[in-house]
Amino acid sequence: MDVAALVSRPLRADDFAVARRVVDDWFGHPVGLVMHRLFFEQLGPSGVWLEDDAPAPVGFLLGLVSEAEPDLAYVHMHVVDPAWRGRGVGARLYEEFCARAGARGCSRVRALAAPGREASRRFHERLGFTGTMRPDHLGQGQDRIVYERGLPLLR
C-alpha cells in the first residue's frame, strides 16, 4: 500500500488503547507516561493518526497548539511502525499536523530530540528544522535539542 493511500485523521480517545499496545515495540523501549492519555482524550483534535486499509495503525503524532504562545505548534512525540519507516510516513504526520496548526494561526512548529536519537535528529533536520542544544533541558543530565522551524511546512 502506498503512503499516499493511508488514511489520516485527528486522534480519538479510543486510539489510546491501540497505541498503548504497539508503542513500546515501535520505539524500542518502554515509553511510559510520555504517551499520556490526555493527548488522546483532551488534545486529540490536534494530533494525527495514520492507518492502512485493514485498518491497522501505521503511525501517530501527539501535539498541541501552545496556550502560552498561540503562534506555536508543539510536537510532543511521533512514531512510525518500523515496517513502514523510510517511506515518508513520518513526514506525512508532520505535514498533516502542521497544515491543521497553520489553519489555526500557528506560524512556527517546535519539537525536542534527545542528542542520542539519531533518527529523530536526522528526521527534523531533513524537514528543515534548526536545532539548539539545551543542556539539562529536562533535568540534570537530560539534555535535549530544541528544534524549530516556520510554517507552512514546505519541503
Ligand X SMILES: CC(C)(COP(=O)(O)OP(=O)(O)OC[C@H]1O[C@@H](n2cnc3c(N)ncnc32)[C@H](O)[C@@H]1OP(=O)(O)O)[C@@H](O)C(=O)NCCC(=O)NCCS
Query: In terms of residues, how long is the chain?
Result: 155
Considering the complex, what minimum distance in angstroms separates the CB of residue 76 from ligand X?
A: 8
Nearer to ligand X, 73 or 79 (CB): 79
Closest separation between CB of residue 44 and ligand X, Å?
A: 18
Residue number with CB closer to ligand X (18 or 91): 91
Would you say 17 or 34 has its CB closer to ligand X?
34
Distance, CA of 126 to CA of 24 (rounded, Å): 25
d(CA 138, CA 141): 8
Q: How far is the CB of 41 from ligand X (least distance, A)?
A: 20
Closest CB 142 distance from ligand X, rounded Å: 14
Are 74 and 66 a contacting pair, CB within 8 Å?
A: yes
Cα Rg of the chain (Å, integer): 15
98's CB contacts (< 8 A; 6+ apart) are 73, 106, 109, 151, 152, 153
Binding site for ligand X (CB under 6 A): 27, 77-80, 85-91, 117, 119-120, 122-123, 126
| Residue with smallest beta-carbon separation from ligand X | 90
